[in-house]
Amino acid sequence: MSAAAKTELAGEFKKLPRHIAVIMDGNGRWAQRQGLPRTAGHSAGADSFHRAARYCQKLGIEYLTVYAFSTENWKRPREEVDAILELLERYLRQALQDMEKEKVRIRIFGDLSPFTPQLRDMCRACMERSAVYTGAQVNICLNYGGRDEIVRAAERWAAEGCPPLSEERFGSYMWGGDVPDPDLLIRPGGEKRISNFLLWELAYTELYFSDVLWPDFDEAELDKAIDAYRHRQRRFGDVGQEA
């Protein structure tokens, strides 16, 4: 390979997102389209999440942050909420079993206090036991709301006696205060909205919307999203580079 080609490859490689965030949407419609209960869609969505996490790890994406349950999702029928939480528990149990093989750091962002002690313990165990892994990190947003996160950040700041603030310092009070902001946000499922996800962190994130429903969002769809990202020009308010 020529030096120029190598440089180009390195340049392209650099453009891979370091952090991908995903609003895992469309599970219910996926199930309904097949005449199945919505809970079957959540089960398929959980499989899709597992597949996406493995693929991102394979590609060398450092951080994957997924929206699994929002502070607004409590409005759903009790059976649906229970089914989602049960799937989560199952995922975490499996993650604990496979931890040494998968070597992924798992973090949960959100207020866990409304959950059962069992689910809370499992979240804690996953976070603690996986904290040794530094290669890939999966952040699961659970009972998470962007506005709630900002209010809690303000509360934590106030509890520390209101020290002088900067954007960086305020950001450090967020759930993932030490995690770089997402480079790419993917929302499958056809809706073009943020739905209270990562309101602080998405300030300069590239947005990618797809009509594909989350359970069908496979490796090829992730490739498409990453490819679209790599063709974006990020300016962060500056003027663009000449072509």
Give residues 3-32 in contact with ligand IPE (rule: CB under 6 A).
23-29
Residue 27 site contact among Mg ion, ligand IPE, none (CB < 5 to 8 Å, cut-off depends on kind) = ligand IPE
The 3-state secondary structure of the chain reads CCHHHHHHHHHHHHCCCCEEEEECCCHHHHHHHCCCCHHHHHHHHHHHHHHHHHHHHHHCCCEEEEEEEECCHHHCCHHHHHHHHHHHHHHHHHHHHHHHHHCEEEEEECCCCCCCHHHHHHHHHHHHHHCCCCCEEEEEEEEECHHHHHHHHHHHHHHCCCCCCCHHHHHCCCCCCCCCCCCEEEECCCCCCCCCCCCCCCCCCEEEECCCCHHHCCHHHHHHHHHHHHCCCCCCCCCCCCC
Active site residue 73: yes
Minimum distance, C-beta of residue 25 to Mg ion, in the bound complex (Å): 4
Please identify, among the stretches 20-28, 78-86, 121-129, 174-182, the one whose residues bind Mg ion according to the rule CB under 5 A. 20-28
In the bound state, the residue with its beta carbon closest to Mg ion is 25
Choice from 49, 63, 67, 208 touching ligand IPE (CB under 6 A): 67
Residue 29 site contact among Mg ion, ligand IPE, none (CB < 5 to 8 Å, cut-off depends on kind) = ligand IPE
Beta carbon nearer to ligand IPE, 99 or 201: 201
In the bound state, the residue with its beta carbon closest to ligand IPE is 28
Active site residue 143: no
Does the footprint of ligand IPE cover residue 147 (CB under 6 A)? no
Does the footprint of ligand IPE cover residue 48 (CB under 6 A)? no
Does the footprint of Mg ion cover residue 25 (CB under 5 A)? yes
Active-site residue numbers? 25, 73
- The residues that touch Mg ion, with contacts defined as CB under 5 A, are 25
- The residues that touch ligand IPE, with contacts defined as CB under 6 A, are 23-29, 45, 67-70, 73, 84, 189, 191, 193, 195
